[in-house]
Structure 1
Amino acid sequence: LSSGQRLHNLYVLMKQKIKQFNIFESKIPSTDEHDIRNTILSTRLFIVTLTVAVIVLVFYTSLIDQTRIVIIKSPTFEQYATLYEKSSETLTCSCTQISIPYDKFIHLSPIYHQVCSSQFITDKWFKYINDSRPGGLIYTNDFRWLGLFQFQILENFCQLSSKTIDDELLIFYSQTTHLSQTATIASNITFQLQSQALIEQFQSTTKNNFLRLLQLIQDITQANKLISGLNTNYAIWAYNYTDFLFTTFVTQEYNMPANCICQVTYKCFQLSSITSFRDYLPGFLNGCFLLSSLLQSTLECWYNQTCFKQLIYEMNVSTTTTTTNFTILDPSRNNQYKPNTTIITIVN
């Protein structure tokens, strides 16, 4: 046979085999043509169904994302940030340390009120007030008598605030985060929120501790009925009667609130003034105790050039012995606080 004839015979044979292909043929060949035809049709249907299923499976597999695990040891922060941006949902990064000091990722820089860096808590201002004191009687609402001690208290407030915050920061920085062995890096937003919560907790704790101590000092002073050496809560009157000297203590009375007496409460105040001053010193108070009256005072006159110049004029200090070159507080600084903000609000 020629090669063409052989190929034709092979084609006919293959065609016949395909037509007769039957995977459901029984072990005992059937002679029933109807049964044979049914099993052949079933075979063809099975093959078509299987082919379609394989095609669908291959197509579906090509569409879905395949997760590939890539391990990067000790990545830099820049590498981590890039990976997080690309694969935030699947990225996991275990912590190499389970205890991290706060000072490794938090740094706080306290900003103090401008009065704490001004001339008004320096010896220059203290000397100026001291040189303005007149002779004769002491007036419990005269700024020239009491202002020196109040500004010295203000200086101590600035120093105590700085010392308290520095001490609390040392404690805060020494504290550490405590993570589990399987802890992973938090997202940037979560980290920022957690850090902000730590900072707010530190601020609240430091402030509350300071205010509790301040309140305790005032309460103890009032409860023990301590007498001020400046006669601000009790006035001492001495009477010379023949051969006897009688001494009596008279409680001081102030007009804020009306008819307020120091024997009952230390929260009695009145506006400070200078005896020859036409008006009271705006916002600056005297009272039963210098500390409590200072806390309720404002520094608005020290923000106002006109008011401060009038105060300097009324203090009437000789310029030959004392300089009057003082710079008032800048109202554009410390925008959080207005000039009429009380000192206790600033302390808070």
Structure 2
Amino acid sequence: MLQTLCILVSQTINDQLIQFYSLTLLTENLVSEEIFVATVLASKDQFINMTTSSVQTSLNILRTFMQGNALLNRLGTNYRLIDVLLDQTKQFVFEQANVNMFPSPDKCQCSVSSYCKAITGIYSLLPTNSPGYSHIEYPYMQRFSSYEVRQLFNVSGIYVGCVILDAVLQSDLSCLYNSSCLSQLNNYLNDSLHPFNATPLNSVSYSSLPTVNDLIEKLMVDEWIFNSSYQSYFSQCNSSICTYTYTKQFDVLFMATTVISSIGGIVTILMLVTLPSVTFICRFIYRRRRLPIIQTEI
């Protein structure tokens, strides 16, 4: 399943790259390098968002389809068929998987939520009369009515879910980064039909291990590197005419304009101040002249 998810993400990225490479930057005039870089970065963000959305949409449709249609998992972790005797006839009945498979306060059921999960482990079958057996019941073990399952080893970070896809998406594969866990897993699986011999993965890239779903949301890419060349854009544009504006301060024209503007401002201020002052003085003199002269004889 993990390989299938990797192929899905890789194929989606390649499909989106084909569309991305077909894009053309059209500008009426030659744009500056700053605008060119900003346009490229915006296109990059749009490409990543569209690719992520495409992958998530595919997975969500698949998960919704499987849960909504109650597709039976061959491992029996979501539903199971049981045979019952009805009217002297053996018939198969479709029912919920054993809720003990997913221990939780809410007794998680796959018909309600696709996020039910239980830790993966290595188990052994014991007769029911053997001491020390546990009551953990793996759903498809119902056929072994005289046996119970005893847990030998927990595989940390790897879960069993309603379906394999849900289980893988919720797993962080921490056992594959732990040498002790991986060594125990190797020991248990060496006698299987498909021997498992692996070395621990390097986790220096992560402060805490992300789930597979977290990795898919990042398209399983640590860093995106987009190369853009303004020089190539400039050459491809092949402009026939280039114009530019050059502004220089404190030249003769600038100084003359500044002086004239200053003089004009001073004249305006003098006009605003002088006219009221002259008017006031004239009125004062006029009034002084009209005052009557009174002569007194002693």
TM-score by length of 2: 0.58
Contact 1:271–1:283 under 8 Å retained in 2: yes
**In structure 2, the residue corresponding to 1:261 is in which secondary structure?**
coil
Per-residue CA shift, 1:66-102, capped at 9, x if unaligned?
A: xxxxxxxxxxxxxxxxxxxxxxxxxxxxxxxxxxxxx
Distance 2:207 2:85 in 1: 51
Which residue of 2 is the match for residue 273 of structure 1?
Answer: 121
Per-residue CA shift, 1:305-348, capped at 9, x if unaligned?
A: 11111112223516xx765542221223xx1x456310000000
**In structure 1, the residue corresponding to 2:203 is in which secondary structure?**
coil
- Residue 258 of structure 1 and its aligned partner are, at CA, apart by 3.5
Per-residue CA shift, 1:3-35, capped at 9, x if unaligned?
A: xxxxxxxxxxxxxxxxxxxxxxxxxxxxxxxxx
Output the amino acid matched with 2:2: L
Distance 2:30 2:86 in 1: 86
- Residue 226 of structure 1 and its aligned partner are, at CA, apart by 1.6
Output the amino acid matched with 2:211: T
Alpha carbons of 1:241 and 1:209: their partners in 2 closer, same or farther (altered >3 Å)? Answer: closer
Distance 2:196 2:63 in 1: 34
- Following superposition, which runs of at least 4 residues in structure 1 exceed 3 angstroms of deviation? 239-243, 276-279, 321-325
* Identical amino acids, percent of aligned pairs: 29
Structure showing the higher strand proportion among its residues: 2
Alpha carbons of 1:184 and 1:158: their partners in 2 closer, same or farther (altered >3 Å)? Answer: same
Contact 1:272–1:286 under 8 Å retained in 2: yes
Output the amino acid matched with 2:203: P
- Residue 247 of structure 1 and its aligned partner are, at CA, apart by 1.8
Task: Say whether 1:303 aligns with 2:177.
Answer: yes
Work out which of the two has the higher radius of gyration on C-alpha atoms and give 1 or 2.
1
Task: Say whether 1:156 aligns with 2:1.
Answer: no
Output the amino acid matched with 2:165: L
Distance 1:257 1:204 in 2: 37
- Residue 241 of structure 1 and its aligned partner are, at CA, apart by 7.2
Distance 1:230 1:315 in 2: 19
Alpha carbons of 1:222 and 1:345: their partners in 2 closer, same or farther (altered >3 Å)? Answer: same
TM-score by length of 1: 0.50
Task: Say whether 1:327 aligns with 2:173.
Answer: no
Paired residue total? 188
Distance 1:176 1:213 in 2: 28
- Residue 279 of structure 1 and its aligned partner are, at CA, apart by 4.0
Distance 2:198 2:25 in 1: 48
Distance 1:229 1:325 in 2: 26
Per-residue CA shift, 1:225-265, capped at 9, x if unaligned?
A: 22222211112212357952132222122225640111222
- Residue 273 of structure 1 and its aligned partner are, at CA, apart by 1.0
Which residue of 1 is the match for residue 41 of structure 2?
Answer: 196
Task: Say whether 1:235 aligns with 2:104.
Answer: no
* Residue segments in structure 1 that go unaligned for 5+ positions in a row: 1-152
Q: 1:290 aligns with which of 164, 170, 178?
A: 164
**In structure 2, the residue corresponding to 1:281 is in which secondary structure?**
strand
**In structure 2, the residue corresponding to 1:192 is in which secondary structure?**
helix
